[in-house]
Structure 1
Amino acid sequence: MIHWVDLPPVWLVGFIALAWVQSVLLPVGGVLPTEPFGFALIGTGAALMVAAVVQMYRAKTTIIPRHDASQLVTGGVFSLSRNPIYLGDALVLAGFALYWGAWPSLVLVPVFMWLISWRFIEGEEAKLRHAFGQAFHAYEKETRRWL
């Protein structure tokens, strides 16, 4: 059970819940309406995630963290970021914080990114480095981890 709890979408939902709680318990009024910006970030993040999942599906490789990849996907959205799904998660989190006007919760975005890097990305990239050797090394030099 704990293995399934420690997955990026579960962490994302937890961080989104924290932003929502902050927006309800400690509302912060703003001069500018933030809902349109928040909605745009949520949509962009979701689109990035869907595009990455489609690319991974077409390459017949796993999208499940800690599973061994059968292919190294480097084109499309993976040419923008080595981790477009996690980048999409961060955009969605920032989007919800803005949508709810929860400015203080924007601090959760870099915390989420650090946590995801520590819990998932570092291990995933070590496996990719081992499995794909020079090909991953070249990709890693050309493409940033986040953006």
Structure 2
Amino acid sequence: MMFDRPLIFVWPDAIAFWAILIWAYAMEARQLQQKKQRSAGHEGADRYSGLVISIGTSLLQLGAVALAFYTPSAMPSEARYPVYAAGLGLIVAGMLLRMHCWRELGAFFTHTVTIADDHRVVDGGAYRLLRHPSYLGALLTLMGLGLVLGNYASLMLMCIGSWSIYIYRIQVEEAALESALGESYTRFKQTRKRLIPYVY
């Protein structure tokens, strides 16, 4: 038997989702406000990747919710609560990873690709293992959003769409960093993977 309405719209199960989502968006908004003055425009080194992230992920989320309501791709009813809990866990884990990365990067974290005059390679914390752990955190959060909807089509849309968006951002960012920092960033790239330790 399949279930229809996503649990994010079923009382009282929805409380946990909306509380976590409000917390996640509040953390992102606070970080954006704090770093707004240091962020460059979307043109130049950013190549509009900041806009691609903000607009693209917003459209993905809207599309995923629509699919959860209007397609017959719901997961089996016995998986309803385990999948919901796993999705909430991914959202929290992704946000905690992002918050850790914000602390590690400090002033160098911006929402557009911005090269500061005193820019340097940051290789502490999660950056010991990965080049872009903050983006991994974002991907975990978005995939968690896909999971809580309990719909295969929604999950596929969130996974494929979010990875496409962030791979573009990574390509733009790495080109800018390598151009600005030269050999120090080249060495950094050679010693760790992008998003998945020892794999990719």
TM-score band, normalised by shorter chain: 0.7 to 0.9
Which consecutive residues of structure 1, in runs of 5 or more, have no partner in the other structure?
A: none
Q: Which is higher, the Rg of structure 1 or of structure 2?
A: 2
2:165 to 115, 133, 143: 115
Deviates more, 1:2-11 or 1:44-53: 2-11
Whether contact under 8 Å (2:67, 2:154) holds in the other structure is yes
Identify if the C-alpha distance between structure 1 residues 76 and 5 changes in structure 2 by more than 3 Å, giving closer, same or farther.
closer
Deviations 1:9-47 (A, max 9, x none): 443232222211111222513232311100110011111
Identify if the C-alpha distance between structure 1 residues 141 and 13 changes in structure 2 by more than 3 Å, giving closer, same or farther.
same
Q: How does 1:45-124 map to 2 (within 5 A)?
A: 45-57=94-106, 60-69=107-116, 70-108=119-157, 109-118=159-168, 120-124=169-173
Give structure 1 regions of 4+ aligned residues with deviation exceeding 4 angstroms: 1-5
Matched, 1:29 2:79: no
CA RMSD in angstroms, aligned pairs only: 2.3
Match of 1:18 in 2: 63
Q: Number of paired residues?
A: 144
Identify if the C-alpha distance between structure 1 residues 74 and 7 changes in structure 2 by more than 3 Å, giving closer, same or farther.
farther
Q: TM-score normalised to the size of structure 1?
A: 0.84
Query: 1-side partners of 2:60 and 2:93: how far apart?
Result: 18
Identity among equivalent positions (%) equals 23
The DSSP-based 3-state class of the residue aligned with 2:111 is: coil
Query: 2-side partners of 1:143 and 1:5: how far apart?
Result: 24
Identify if the C-alpha distance between structure 1 residues 5 and 124 changes in structure 2 by more than 3 Å, giving closer, same or farther.
closer
Higher RCO by CA contacts (8 Å cutoff, separation 6 or greater)? 1
State the shift of 1:105 in Å. 2.1
Whether contact under 8 Å (2:50, 2:113) holds in the other structure is no
Identify if the C-alpha distance between structure 1 residues 81 and 4 changes in structure 2 by more than 3 Å, giving closer, same or farther.
closer
